[in-house]
């Protein structure tokens, strides 16, 4: 199982993501610079959290147009799994690989801390170690996590079972309490909370480890 | 060289918490007559093009490709000499 983490200017969760992937896959992930185009064949790509380009213009806007994102979009179209975490989720929506957009938090404040979420059908399909209806806790740390989309898009996401995680207590005003969604094919996942920060009891929990291990296990079995 | 001015606003119906905060602050200063405050942004640049129509076409493309996000924003373009 080979994986890659895309590093943008001002990514700050790239090394956390690398540790989570290394632990789950047993292999050190490739760290790929956003300005390059070449990426070795990998099974899983993570767009990490951070504040790429200082969140200038719109969060994730500039990163979404970087050369490496051309490659990521090509790979996603070929079925390679892609996970965008926090700023990575913003980059995926800005790129159009996921529907909707992430606006300024409704309460205007940066929100930070562990949040409980209900696992929805799409997350259970993505990482079968998780069961739809159970609750997991990942940390959040964001200013622009207020997920929004046109009503017909939201209705479609719900009807097609493409919501991955839903907040128990909505921290940012996101539509339908959405914390994460998948694309139509189900191989691209974006979520605001940070599973890579929940991979050890020392860090406050292991739900993120379960997520990565279940995902990698399912991919290895496929 | 012409000048381009792009005005980007949040679409109607998209929640604007910053606009709401500004409205609250205005109200606190006694400007209760201001309502429905929306915050947007303006991007200005000089543009090299053969004529105004060409400049507008290029600016339009810039808006579509980067400057505005059609999910949440509208934009308008003004070109001047």
Bridge partners (DSSP) of residue B10 are B73
Spatial separation of the C-alpha atoms in residues A79 and A51, rounded to whole Å: 27
Region B31-47 average pLDDT: 97
Catalytic-residue membership of A196: yes
> Is the alpha carbon torsion for A190, A191, A194, A199 positive or negative?
negative
Nearest by CB: A61 against B17, B21, B66: B66
Region A161-181 average pLDDT: 98
**pLDDT at res. A79:** 97
Is pLDDT of A80 > 90? yes
Token pair of A44, please?
A: 């899983």
Q: ipTM value of the model? A: 0.87
Residue extents of the structural domains in chain A: 3-221
Spatial separation of the C-alpha atoms in residues A86 and A179, rounded to whole Å: 10
Spatial separation of the C-alpha atoms in residues A3 and A28, rounded to whole Å: 8
**Minimal Cα–Cα distance from B25 to chain A, Å?**
14
**pLDDT at res. B44:** 98
Interface check B17 vs A, CB under 8 A: yes
Is pLDDT of B17 > 90? no
Q: Give the side-chain half-sphere CA count within 13 A for A36.
A: 10
Is pLDDT of B28 > 90? yes
Spatial separation of the C-alpha atoms in residues B12 and B15, rounded to whole Å: 8
**pLDDT at res. A135:** 98
The CATH code that applies to domain A3-221 is: 3.40.50.880
User: Which whole-number Å values give the CA distances from A27 to A20, A34, A160, A188, in the listed order?
Assistant: 10, 21, 34, 21
**pLDDT at res. A204:** 87
Region B14-40 average pLDDT: 94
The domain tally of chain B equals 1
Spatial separation of the C-alpha atoms in residues B81 and B71, rounded to whole Å: 31
Q: CB neighbours (10 Å) of residue B61?
A: 11
A127, A129, A133, A139 alpha-carbon torsion, rounded to 10°:
-70
For chain A, the average pLDDT equals: 97
Interface check B1 vs A, CB under 8 A: no
Is pLDDT of A69 > 90? yes
Instruction: Name which of A38-47, A173-182, B9-18 the model is least confident about.
Output: B9-18
Interface test with B, best of A58, A62, A106 (most B CBs within 10 A): A58
Confidence bin at B13 (pLDDT 50/70/90) = confident
Is pLDDT of B15 > 90? no
For chain B, the average pLDDT equals: 95
Nearest by CB: A100 against B15, B65, B71: B71
| A72, A6 Cβ separation under 8 angstroms | yes
Region B50-59 average pLDDT: 97
Spatial separation of the C-alpha atoms in residues A176 and A197, rounded to whole Å: 24
Q: Give the model confidence (pLDDT) of A122-160 as tens digits.
A: 999 999 999 999 999 999 999 999 999 999 999 999 999
Spatial separation of the C-alpha atoms in residues A29 and A2, rounded to whole Å: 7
The residue of chain B nearest to residue A172, with distances taken between CA atoms, is B17
- The CATH number linked to B23 is 3.30.1280.10
A56: left (phi over 0), alpha (psi -120 to 50) or beta: beta
Catalytic-residue membership of A86: yes
Helical ranges in A35-99 per DSSP H: 61-64, 67-77, 87-95
Catalytic-residue membership of A194: yes
**pLDDT at res. A29:** 98
Q: Are B69 and A94 within 8 A, CB to CB?
A: yes
Confidence bin at A100 (pLDDT 50/70/90) = very high
Q: Are B14 and A148 within 8 A, CB to CB?
A: yes
Bridge partners (DSSP) of residue B80 are B3
Region A149-174 average pLDDT: 97
Region A37-43 average pLDDT: 97
Token pair of A48, please?
A: 């990490």
Residue B41 sits in which domain range? 2-80
**pLDDT at res. A178:** 98
């Amino acid at each position: 199982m080979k994986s890659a983490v895309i590093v943008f200017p001002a990514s700050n969760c790239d090394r956390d993501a690398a540790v989570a992937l290394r632990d789950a896959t047993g292999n050190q992930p490739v760290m790929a610079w956003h300005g390059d185009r070449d990426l070795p064949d990998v099974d899983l790509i993570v767009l990490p959290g951070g504040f790429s380009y200082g969140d200038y213009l719109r969060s994730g806007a500039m990163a979404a147009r970087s050369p490496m994102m051309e490659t990521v979009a090509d790979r996603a179209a070929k079925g390679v799994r892609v996970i965008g975490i926090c700023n990575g989720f913003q980059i995926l929506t800005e790129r159009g690989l996921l529907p909707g957009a992430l606006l300024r938090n409704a309460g205007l404040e940066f929100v930070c801390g562990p949040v409980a979420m209900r696992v929805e059908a799409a997350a259970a399909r993505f990482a079968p170690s998780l069961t739809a209806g159970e609750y997991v806790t990942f940390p959040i740390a964001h200013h622009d996590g207020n997920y929004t989309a046109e009503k017909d898009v939201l209705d479609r996401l719900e009807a097609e079972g493409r919501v991955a995680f839903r907040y128990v207590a909505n921290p940012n005003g996101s539509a339908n309490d959405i914390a994460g969604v998948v694309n139509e094919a189900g191989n691209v996942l974006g979520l605001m909370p940070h599973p890579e920060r929940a991979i050890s009891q020392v860090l406050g929990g292991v739900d993120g480890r379960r997520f990565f291990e279940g995902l990698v296990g399912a991919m290895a079995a496929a | 060289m012409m000048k381009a001015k792009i005005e980007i606003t949040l679409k109607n119906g998209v929640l604007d918490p910053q606009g709401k905060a500004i409205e609250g602050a205005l109200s606190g200063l006694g400007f209760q007559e201001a309502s429905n405050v929306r915050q947007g942004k303006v991007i200005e640049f000089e543009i090299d093009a053969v004529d105004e129509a060409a400049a507008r076409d290029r600016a339009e493309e810039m808006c579509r490709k980067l400057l505005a996000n059609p999910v949440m924003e509208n934009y308008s373009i003004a070109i001047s000499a």
